[in-house]
Amino acid sequence: QRRLVSLATSKSDSLLETIVAHRLRTEGLAFVQQAVLLGHRVDFLVDGRVVLQIDGWEHHGDEIQRRRDIELDAKLLAVGHPTLRRDFYGVVRRWPEFARDIRAALIVAQRLGA
């Protein structure tokens, strides 16, 4: 726990985002936290191409927020930024799969010209 606290920055909105930032660094992936795209703040922009949104518990129960998220994801994809969304389970329990998905999305984004 102390190690994770020492890794936290003001850019992380949650401990989960701190974990993602640490794991992205460990994977050797370049990223910006809290990047602004199309007037919206995104949790991570990986390699200037792929958006990662780390959804906390509150996103799962709010239908209006979920619709907004889907609309933003579609707009981002239309301009060449695939978006991957994960929750606690997807980050903590399934990191290897998430890391593979990020790398695959980077290939797609490169083809889209982002």
Q: What is the pLDDT of residue 81?
A: 93
Q: What is the pLDDT of residue 55?
A: 83
Q: What is the pTM of this model?
A: 0.85
- Quote the tokens at residue 48: 């200037």
pLDDT per residue as tens digits for the range 70-86: 999 999 999 999 999 99
Residue 65's pLDDT band, with cuts at 50, 70 and 90, is confident
* Dist. CA 82–CA 63, nearest whole Å: 22
Q: If residue 42 lies in a helix (H) or strand (E), which one and from where to where?
A: strand 40-46
The percentage of residues in the chain with a pLDDT greater than 70, rounded to a whole number, is: 83
